Amino acid sequence: SNKTIPESWKGKALSINLINQAGQVVNSKSTKQASQVERLTVNQLAAGVYILRIQDGNGNVETNKIRVH
């Protein structure tokens, strides 16, 4: 799954977590220099709705719901 991150976060360290409906982190990624589009593999996950949580090194957080089919 591709996620376009805010332009202001490009080149910064990011922590990316994919969280299931039980609140468990099911996939995660850290990057020291984020590109504009970051990719997480979701094909091994059960179908359903997940929360994508992205946090930068300054504590700014963006969350999005994503649906895995």
The model's pTM: 0.84
Q: pLDDT at position 52, please? A: 93
pLDDT digits (tens, 9 = 90+) for 46-57: 999 999 999 998
How far from 54 is each of 4, 42, CA to CA, in Å? 11, 16
- Which uninterrupted H or E stretch holds 27? strand 25-31
The stretch 3-15 carries a mean pLDDT of 85
**Cα(36)–Cα(6) distance, rounded to whole angstroms?**
7
Contact between residue 25 and residue 18 where contact means Cβ atoms under 8 Å apart: yes
pLDDT digits (tens, 9 = 90+) for 11-33: 899 999 999 999 999 999 999 99
